């Protein structure tokens, strides 16, 4: 039967094999003094009771730690719109001529919507191929103009020359996949219940009836 002395040696050896706290978590990994104190206390507890759990804690901290690139991209998306259905210049033109055509088209659209600003970025997305109209990504200098563009987007249906142009917000890949699935559900409901008539639509990440949107807006404003 192992002696108590042997057990003590085993525990001591186990503790000794655990890397020091300073090597496990960098000084800049935590964003507030309170968080540093809590993690320090948790690490001390793990060192004494379950040192094998320290790597798991490190993994959790690395997952929760903000990614600077994601923060920048998220901020940029918050003032970006995607435009589809905007006619594209002929493929035979030079790259600079096609870019000038895209920028001119965007300027005309903003004029039609009476949005007084100059975007900081205007680019066609994807590879140029014959017969396929590429979407446009437009980045504004402020979220103010993004919100104005989204709010006025429905007016394009009534403006000659822009009645087939659509505006939506810029989304991540996961958000696009979710939006695509919601729109598929809306189409199926419209086909099944109303013979294809557009009754169900996607609104604020939900499939709802278009006639219910005004009430939803009132409800949302009351909850703000």
- DSSP code per residue over 158-182: GSTT-TT-EEEE---HHHHHHHHHH
Distance CA 164, CA 1 (A): 84
120/47 Cα distance (integer angstroms): 52
Q: How many CB atoms lie within 10 A of CB 101?
A: 17
Do 47 and 120 lie in one domain? The reply is no
Query: Is the domain of 136 the same as that of 205?
Result: no
Among 65, 98, 116, residue at a domain's last position? 65
Residues 97, 46, single domain; the answer is no
pTM tops 0.95: no
Write the CATH number for 91: 3.30.70.330
Mean pLDDT by groups of 10 residues along the chain of 224 residues:
50 45 45 72 84 82 76 92 96 95 98 97 91 94 96 96 96 93 96 94 91 82 60
- Residue-level pLDDT at 95: 95
Cβ atoms of 125 and 135 within 8 Å: the answer is yes
Same domain assignment for residues 86 and 100: yes
Q: Tell me, what's the pLDDT at 222?
A: 62
Of 152, 170, 188, the position where a domain reaches its end is 170
C-alpha to C-alpha distance for 27 and 33, rounded to whole angstroms: 11
- Same domain assignment for residues 155 and 104: yes
Residues 157 and 200 occupy one common structural domain: no
Which domain range does residue 11 map to?
A: 4-65
Q: Compute how many other C-beta atoms are within 10 angstroms of the C-beta atom of residue 139.
A: 17
- What's the number of domains the chain is made of? 3
């Amino acid at each position: 039967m192992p002696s108590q002395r042997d057990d003590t040696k085993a525990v001591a050896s186990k503790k000794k094999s655990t890397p020091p706290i300073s090597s496990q978590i960098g000084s800049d990994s935590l964003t507030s003094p309170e968080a540093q104190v809590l993690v320090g206390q948790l690490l001390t507890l793990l060192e004494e009771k379950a040192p094998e759990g320290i790597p798991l804690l490190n993994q959790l901290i690395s997952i929760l730690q903000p990614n600077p690139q994601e923060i920048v991209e998220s901020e940029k998306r918050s003032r970006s719109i995607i435009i589809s259905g905007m006619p594209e210049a002929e493929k035979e033109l030079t790259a600079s001529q096609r870019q000038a055509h895209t920028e001119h088209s965007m300027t005309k659209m903003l004029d039609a919507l009476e949005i007084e600003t100059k975007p900081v970025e205007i680019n066609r997305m994807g590879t140029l191929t014959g017969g396929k109209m590429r979407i446009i990504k437009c980045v504004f200098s402020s979220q103010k103009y993004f919100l104005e563009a989204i709010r006025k987007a429905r007016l394009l249906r009534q403006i000659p020359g822009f009645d087939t142009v659509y505006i939506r917000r810029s989304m991540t890949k996961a958000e696009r996949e979710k939006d695509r699935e919601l729109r598929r559900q809306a189409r199926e409901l419209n086909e099944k219940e109303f013979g294809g008539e557009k009754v169900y639509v996607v609104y604020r990440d939900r499939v709802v009836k278009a006639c219910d949107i005004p009430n939803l807006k009132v409800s949302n404003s009351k909850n703000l």
